[in-house]
Amino acid sequence: MTTPRYAFLQPGNYARGWHIVLFSQELAVGQVKRLHYFERELVAYRGESGNVGIVDAHCPHLGAHLASGEGRVLGDNIACPFHGWTFNAQGQCVDIPYASTIPDKAVNALGSWSVLEINGFIALWYDRADNPPENYLPRIDPWGESQWGDWQFYRSRIQAKACDVIENIVDVAHFPHVHGGIVRKFENRFGERTVTQLSTVDRDASARMIVPPNAGFDLQDMRDDQAGEDADAWGDATYHGPSIMYYYTESKSAEVSFRSWWVNCHTPVNDNELDLCSAVIFSSLDERPLPEEFTLMYPQMAHLAFGQDVEIWKDKIYRDNPILCDGDGPINKLRKWYEQFFLPPA
């Protein structure tokens, strides 16, 4: 087998970094949730203090799943529903209710994951080399303020590769064809752990675009309706690390003026599948309350924009040495930037 050109193409080589696995509102105190990411079975739970723990799913005793039944949270620990062995969020066995001593081997037998709860989402740190987590995820200041509301999110498990998802941020040439947009301004900026897209994209009533199946409403109709509105809109999308993108956008038109934060993220399930999630909060940019129709439609739009890309991703192959032209975005530069998150092949 030949070594792939990029480490991120190596099977089982997942990106080092923070990956969103849940939104805070999905995990109440005392609740245990099953997760399946990076080819591993995991459980997330929220202890009585509100802290979230993420540990490997299968008990080191006789292998029960820690979320069987409904799972059991004791204080800030998780207890196995089979014989009651109890573990803290660092995976240490802290109690075996029927034993006088905890066997040495049991003390650190359960794998645990670093967790960050910030901006209303729960992220886990993945690193094959076990380096300590980095502190690169910024706060989204308005999150938690009442006029912005809570995250409205859509998550779907799709057939796609993470490297295709991230490439979207520099792919200026796909906007007219996939999203039906006219690109007025487009710029990418690369930082150490960030890559940013500054864009102004108008709708193009005459362009064809991809209409995802199960859209729930007629995207083409909706686009046609809004095509003449001449909204003055701009957006700043920034990946912080390999899988979490924040997007801030403002849009002003005669009908509705709003600002919005999106969190778009993908978390690998295995080499061929990932969970794609888009979440939005938004608020009015002026004195006018947002029309109800808009507040219902806008969160769906966020996910549908991804849905248009998914239609391409699920069928495409990956060209590791593509033929590019002068109108393409900095695709090779993005690939080099993305490569930093992966262990070189052994």
Residues that bind Fe ion (CB under 5 A): 168, 309
- Phi and psi at 283, nearest 5°, equal -150, 165
- Phi and psi at 146, nearest 5°, equal -60, -35
Residue 124 interaction partner, one of Fe ion, ligand FES, none, beta carbon < 5-8 Å per kind: none
Residue 168 interaction partner, one of Fe ion, ligand FES, none, beta carbon < 5-8 Å per kind: Fe ion
Nearest approach, Cβ of 184 to ligand FES (angstroms)?
A: 59
Of 56 and 309, CB closest to Fe ion: 309
Residue 167 interaction partner, one of ligand FES, Fe ion, none, beta carbon < 5-8 Å per kind: none
Q: How far is CA 153 from the centre of its chain?
A: 10
Of 57 and 302, CB closest to ligand FES: 57
Contact between 81 and 68 under an 8 Å Cβ cutoff? The reply is yes
Strand pairing category for 273-284 and 152-159: antiparallel
Nearest approach, Cβ of 58 to ligand FES (angstroms)?
A: 8
Per-residue tokens: 200: 């102004």
Residue 61 interaction partner, one of ligand FES, Fe ion, none, beta carbon < 5-8 Å per kind: ligand FES
Nearest approach, Cβ of 45 to ligand FES (angstroms)?
A: 15
Of 69 and 138, CB closest to ligand FES: 69
Per-residue tokens: 345: 């092949």
Nearest approach, Cβ of 316 to Fe ion (angstroms)?
A: 13
Of 112 and 196, CB closest to Fe ion: 196
Residue 309 interaction partner, one of Fe ion, ligand FES, none, beta carbon < 5-8 Å per kind: Fe ion
Distance linking the first and last C-alpha atoms of the chain: 14
Of 72 and 240, CB closest to ligand FES: 72
Q: Does 62 bind ligand FES (CB under 6 A)?
A: yes
CB atoms within 10 A of CB 312: 16
Angle at 58 between CA 53 and CA 62, to 5 degrees: 135
Residues 64-93 that bind ligand FES (CB under 6 A): 64, 80, 82-85
Residue 276 interaction partner, one of ligand FES, Fe ion, none, beta carbon < 5-8 Å per kind: none
Contact between 25 and 120 under an 8 Å Cβ cutoff? The reply is yes
Residue range at the interface with ligand FES (CB under 6 A); choices 62-70, 151-159, 193-201, 294-302: 62-70
- Phi and psi at 101, nearest 5°, equal -135, 155
- Phi and psi at 104, nearest 5°, equal -50, -45
Of 44 and 166, CB closest to Fe ion: 166
Of 275 and 309, CB closest to Fe ion: 309
Residue 62 interaction partner, one of ligand FES, Fe ion, none, beta carbon < 5-8 Å per kind: ligand FES
Nearest-angstrom CA–CA distance, 52 and 55: 10
Say how many residues touch ligand FES, by CB under 6 A. Answer: 10
CB neighbour burial string for 150-184, b if at least 16 within 10 angstroms, e if fewer: ebbbbbeebebbbbbbbbbbbbbbbbbebbbbebe
DSSP string covering 236-265, please?
EEEEETTTEEEEEEEEE-SS--EEEEEEEE
Contacting positions for ligand FES (CB under 6 A): 59, 61-64, 80, 82-85
